[in-house]
Amino acid sequence: MQHPLQHSLLLVRCQPRAMKKYILLPLLGLSLITCKKGEEEPRIPETVTAAFDQDVDLRYRQQALVPTANQPELTVQLTDLSYSFCPKNVRCFIADFVWPTVKITDAQGQVQELRQLGKVVHTYNPAWTDTASVRANGRRYVVQYTRYNLDQYSREEPQKEDITVTIRITKPN
């Protein structure tokens, strides 16, 4: 008489293809679910409105309508960030920096991309100004990048979504 475990082991040895089907189907389903989760896009922050000569905080992929949402003269969107942060308790040769890229769309739909390549500031103060001039709606606007803020909990491995950039749009006379 065979032991019950020996019988089940014989069954596995005798019918390996049948067992593979039962094991592979759940594993395939699990892998599809896992792949689906990895493809989710990050949430796009709400659109904000800002007046001229007023600081506005933008997160990655967020846009601001200037000066009003009803009839914006400009739509400013933070489209990309180049950045580097020195990890805690490490001496770095380059200071922390954030260089934003903004897309500016005027009322006629003309698009300009502005890359703020400010100098790397060798102080550990994220408040400094980089200014650029753009031409839209047949006139000149001044875009000032004044500072960045990093969410405190993300200091070790910050992602683009953890950074807030402050800009100001001025409409000179």
User: What integer best gives the mean pLDDT of the chain?
Assistant: 79
Question: What average pLDDT does range 7-18 have in this prediction?
Answer: 51
**Fold observed for domain 48-170:** Tick-borne Encephalitis virus Glycoprotein; domain 1 (2.60.98)
Q: Let me know: does 112 contact 138? Beta carbons within 8 Å.
A: no
pTM of the model: 0.69
Residue-wise pLDDT for 120-173, tens only, equals 444 455 556 678 899 999 999 999 998 888 887 666 788 899 999 999 999 987
pLDDT at res. 92: 86
pLDDT at res. 55: 94
Cα-Cα-Cα-Cα dihedral of 144, 149, 128, 125, to 10°?
A: 180
Rounded distance between C-alpha atoms, residue 48 and residue 121, angstroms: 29
- Ordered alpha helix ranges (H), the chain: 4-14, 16-38
Position with higher pLDDT, 47 vs 155: 47
Cα 140 to the center of its chain, rounded Å: 29
Position with higher pLDDT, 80 vs 156: 80
Does residue 42 have a pLDDT over 80?
no
Beta-sheet strands, E only, within the chain? 48-49, 55-59, 63-66, 74-84, 97-106, 111-115, 127-136, 139-150, 163-170
Position with higher pLDDT, 120 vs 90: 90
Taken in order 155, 91, 167, 107, the sign of the CA dihedral is negative
Share of the chain above pLDDT 70, in %: 66
